[in-house]
Amino acid sequence: MTTTIRTAGQMPVQFAITMPTPAATAAAATTLKNIALFLAAPFIGLVYAMALPFVGMAMLAVIGGKALVKAPATWQALAAAKEVALFLAAPFIGLVYAVTLPFVGIALIARAAYKAYRA
């Protein structure tokens, strides 16, 4: 494609504008992608190396959990642990109820008063 630029008092100048072909654009994009991957590869490897112990522990927990579920004594131990956990949590649950229920009562009384007012 050719374009002509005209300026005041000078002769017209012709410029040839060359557009990149789709193949050249695709090649440039591929090259940029390869450069980016080349620069990011050490960091990706570092992430994998840092995650490896956690992945290993998770796999160990999954395999151990599957083996543990198959044992009949596990269910008895879990039932006992549940009772102990509830026994230890009961005072805190009671404290939460004792602290929050007065506010719930006040809100219910206010709601009943508002409904009586609107009626």
Kindly report, residue by residue over 30-41, the tens digit of the pLDDT.
888 999 999 999
- Cβ neighbors of 18 (< 8 A, separation 6 or more) are 1
> Which of 2-35 are b and which e, b meaning 16 or more Cβ less than 10 Å from the residue's Cβ?
eeeeeeeeeeeeeeeeeeeeeeeeeeeeeeeeee
Contact 14, 3 (CB under 8 A): yes
| pLDDT bracket for residue 3 (50, 70, 90) | low
pTM summary value = 0.38
Kindly report, residue by residue over 79-117, the tens digit of the pLDDT.
899 999 999 999 999 999 999 999 999 999 999 999 999
Return the residue matching tokens 């290993």.
Answer: 56
**pLDDT given at position 6:** 66
Question: Any bridge partners for residue 37, and if so which?
Answer: none
**pLDDT given at position 119:** 83
